[in-house]
Structure 1
C-alpha cells in the first residue's frame, strides 16, 4: 500500500498571484527575487553563501519550470534540465488572506470560506474590551506593546519592562494573529501557554486565525532570544481535511513542525516538533522511514518564513533553500515503489519586498516518487488539488473540492 509525505516550505512562494494587488503585493515573487539577487551578487554573505542560487536537486525536479509557468520567468542563474523528473506546476490560492492557516487548510482540502479578522490599527491595535478581558481573565497587571511590531524588535524593546512589571508583550501584524511574548523563566512557559488558551477563546468571535505564544530567554547583558517553544493556538478547520479522512480510515499519521498547531491538534496523529529546519527535516525523514504502509507524513519547515522572510534576509533565505536542496536525495532514497512525495508552500514572504509580512503569491508544486513519469502539472486552480491527489493516491478517495492530477 502506498505511503505519502507532504512537505510545506513555509513562505517559499513563486510569485504571480492575480489578486496580489488587493493585498499590496503586486509583483512580489519570493523565489524569483531571491534567485535574481543571488545571480547579481546581492545574495552573497561571507561565510554563508555566494554566487547564483545553487539548487540542483530542486531544479532536477522542475522547480525553475514551475516558477516559469507561474510568472513567465525561469529562476535566474538556475540551470534547467532538459527533462525534469517527476511532476511540476504551481497552485493558486482561492482562500482569502495570505496566512499560514489559510494556505495549509487549503492544501489539506479545506479552503477558508470566511474572511479572517485583523487588528488593523498600527498603535493601540487591540480593542479596549479585548485588552480589558485579557488583563481580567489572565489575572495580569496589564499588557505591553499593543501594536504592530516585528517579534524580535518588540522583545528587544520591551523585555526588560516585561521582566520588571510582569506584563506580557502583546503585538500583531497584518496577519490575522495576536502574539504574546513572555520570558520563560520570569513569566513561566506553562503560564504563557495557559494565557494564550484564554486569549484564544476571547478572540474567537473576531475570527482571528492564531494566538501565538512567543517565549524567550536572556537578559540585558546577553541579549534576548526567542526559544523553540513557540506554540500556535489556531481556529480548527471548518470542514474535513485529508488528516480527518485518514484518521477515520485508521491510517498512520505523523505531523512534523507546527502542523499540529495549525490544525488545532485535530487528527494530527503523532506530533513531532523539534527546533529548526535541519532538525525538523531529519525528524521527518526518520518518521517516514518507519511509516507503515498507507501512512501519511505532513511536514512544515518554518525557518524560511520566520528566520529569513519576515526579517528580509535574502542571503539567509537563499542559504536555507540551498540547505534543503542538499537534503532532498536523503528523502528520495527512502521512497519505495508506490510512494509519493510532494513539496509545496503555503504563501509567499518575499525578502526583497517592503515591510515584514507575507506576500500573496502562487506556490510551486513538485511531486515525485520511484518510476513517476515526468509531467507538467501546469496551473492548479486551488491548493486543494494537493489533498485530492493525496486522497486518490492513498486509496481513501479525493478529499475536498480540488481536482486530482
Structure 2
C-alpha cells in the first residue's frame, strides 16, 4: 500500500498571484528574486554562501519550470536538466488570506472562505476591553508593546523592562495573530503557554487565527534571543480536513514541525516538533523509513519564513534553500514502491520585498516517487488539489474539495 509525504517549505512562493495587488504584493516573487539577487552577488555572505543560487535537485524536480509557468520568467541557474526526475506545477491560493493557517488548511482540503480578524496598525493596537480582560484574568501587572512590531526588534526594545516588571510583551502584525513574548526563566515557559491558552479564548470573538508564544532568553548586557520553544495556539478548523478523513480511516499519521499547532492538534497523529529545518526534515525522513503502509507524513519547515523571510535576509534564505536541496537525495533513498512525495509552500515571503510580512504568491508543487511520471501537472486552481491527490493516492474516499492529478 502506498505512503505519502507532504513537505511544506514555509513561505517558498514562486510569485505570480493574480490577486497580489489586493494584498499590496504585485510583483513579489520569493524564489525568483532570491535567484536574481544571488546572480548579482547580493546573496553572498562570507562563511555562509556565495555565487548563483544552486538547487540542482529541485531544479531536476521542476522548480525552475514551476517558477517560469507562474511568472513567465525562468530564474537564473534554475534551468531544468535534460532528464526531469519529477512532475511539477504550481498552485493558486483561493483562501482569503496569505497567512499560515489559510495556506495549510487549503493544502489539507479546507479553503478559508471567511475573513480573519486583524488588529489595526495603531498604538495601542489591541482593544482596551481585550487588554483589560487579559490583565485581569491572568493577574498581570499590565502588558508591554501593544503595537505592530518585528518579533526580534520588540524583545530588544522591551526585554529589560519585561524582566524588571513581569509584564509580558504583546504585539501583532498584518497577519491575524496575537503574539506574546516572555522570558523563559524570569517569566516561565509554562506560565507563558498558560497565558496564551487564556488569550486564545479571549481572542475568539475577534476571529484571530493564532495566539503565538514567543519565548526568549538572555539579558540586556548579552542581548536577547528567541528560543525554539515557540508554540502556536490556533483556532479549530471549521470542518474536516484530510487529516480527519485519514484518522477516521485508521491510517497512521505523523505531523512534523508546527503542523500540530496549525490544526489545533486535531487528527494530527504522532506529533514531532524538533527545532529547525534540518531537524524537522530528519524527523520526517525517519518517520518515512519506519512507517506503516498507507500512512501519511505532513511536515512544515518553518525557518524559511521565520528566520529569513520576515527578516528580509536574502543570503540566509538562499543558504536554507540550498541546505534543503542537498538533502533531497535522502528523501529519495527512503522511498518504497508506490510512495509519493509532494513539496510545496503555504504562501510567499519575498526577502527582497518591502516590509516584513508574507507575500501573496503561487506555491510550487513538486512531486516525485518511484511511480511518478516526469512532466507537468500544470496550474492547479487551488492548494486543495494537493489534499485531493493525497487521499486518492492513499485509496481513501475524497473530501470533496480540490481535484487530484493522479
Task: Please tell me the TM-score bracket, short chain as reference.
Answer: over 0.9
Q: For residues 281-315 of structure 1, give each alpha carbon's deviation from its aligned partner in whole angstroms, at most 9, with x where no partner exists.
A: 11111111111001100000000000000000000
Distance in 1 of aligned mates of 2:107 and 2:357 = 21
SS at structure 2 position matched to 1:387: helix
Does 2:147 correspond to 1:147? Answer: yes
SS at match of 2:31: helix
Report what 2:185 is aligned to. 185
Q: 1: distance between equivalents of 2:146 and 2:83? A: 52
1:90-142: CA deviation from partner (whole Å, max 9, x where unpaired): 00000001000000000000001200000022321101111101101111000
Give the Cα–Cα distance (whole angstroms) in 1 for the partners of residues 54 and 389 of structure 2.
30
Aligned residue in 1 for 2:287: 287
Query: What is the CA–CA distance in structure 1 between the aligned matches of 2:165 and 2:400, rounded to whole Å?
Result: 48
Name 1:210's counterpart in structure 2. 210
Match of 2:44 in 1: 44
Give me the whole-angstrom Cα distance separating, in 2, the residues matched to 1:369 and 1:201. Answer: 43
Tell me the secondary structure at the aligned position of residue 64 of structure 2: helix
- Residues 1:325 and 2:325 aligned together: yes
2:335 is the alignment partner of 1:335: yes
CA distance in 2, matches of 1:131, 1:8: 34
Normalising by structure 2, we get a TM-score of 0.99
CA separation in 2, counterparts of 1:32 and 1:19? 18
Deviations 1:134-183 (A, max 9, x none): 10111100000000000000001100000000000000000000000000
Give 1:239-388 correspondences, 5 Å limit.
239-388=239-388
Where does 1:42-191 land on structure 2 (aligned, <5 Å)? Answer: 42-191=42-191
3-state SS in 2 of match to 1:324:
helix
Partners of 1:38 and 1:397 in 2: CA distance:
45
Offset at residue 320 of structure 1 (A):
0.1
4+ residue runs over 4 A deviation: none
5+ residue gaps, structure 2, are: none
Counterparts of 1:79 and 1:362, CA distance in 2: 19
Tell me how far apart the structure 2 counterparts of residues 219 and 150 of structure 1 sit (CA, whole Å).
19
Q: Which runs of 5+ in 1 are unaligned?
A: none
3-state SS of paired residue (2:182): strand
